[in-house]
Amino acid sequence: MTTPPPVISTKDHLYLQDMLHWNLLAMKKARFLADQCQDMSLKTELDRVGQMHHHHYGVILEQLRNNQAQNPSAYMQ
């Protein structure tokens, strides 16, 4: 599925919240570990992982915003 459905069920809403939480937590952990790391190659990889999760978080949020703008009543369920 390339676009979200016009109405998001409660189960879908909870899953989307979980996905946002997981990506935010993974991003924070990767950045924290990168700050603690002294091995530059590992630090670089952890920074990349943090950026990847930050990007995923943004993509999910943007999809939700686009869907809400197109279907303002979609979140009324």
Structural domain including 22 reads 10-66
* Cβ neighbours of residue 31 closer than 8 Å, sequence gap 6 or more: 46, 47, 50
The pTM of this model reads 0.77
Residues 34 and 44: their CA atoms lie apart, in Å, by 7
Could you tell me if residue 19 is inside a domain? Answer: yes
Q: Is 2 helix (H, G, I), strand (E, B) or coil?
A: coil
Residue at 5 is within a domain: no
Number of structural domains in the chain: 1
Classify residue 36 as exposed, middle or buried by CB count within 10 Å of its CB (0-12, 13-18, 19+): exposed
Provide the phi-psi class of 58: left if phi over 0, else alpha when psi is between -120 and 50, else beta.
alpha
Residue 28 in any domain: the answer is: yes
Q: Is residue 44 part of a domain?
A: yes
Read off the pLDDT of residues 7-63 as tens digits, 9 standing for 90 and up.
778 898 899 999 999 999 999 999 999 999 999 999 999 999 999 999 999 999 988
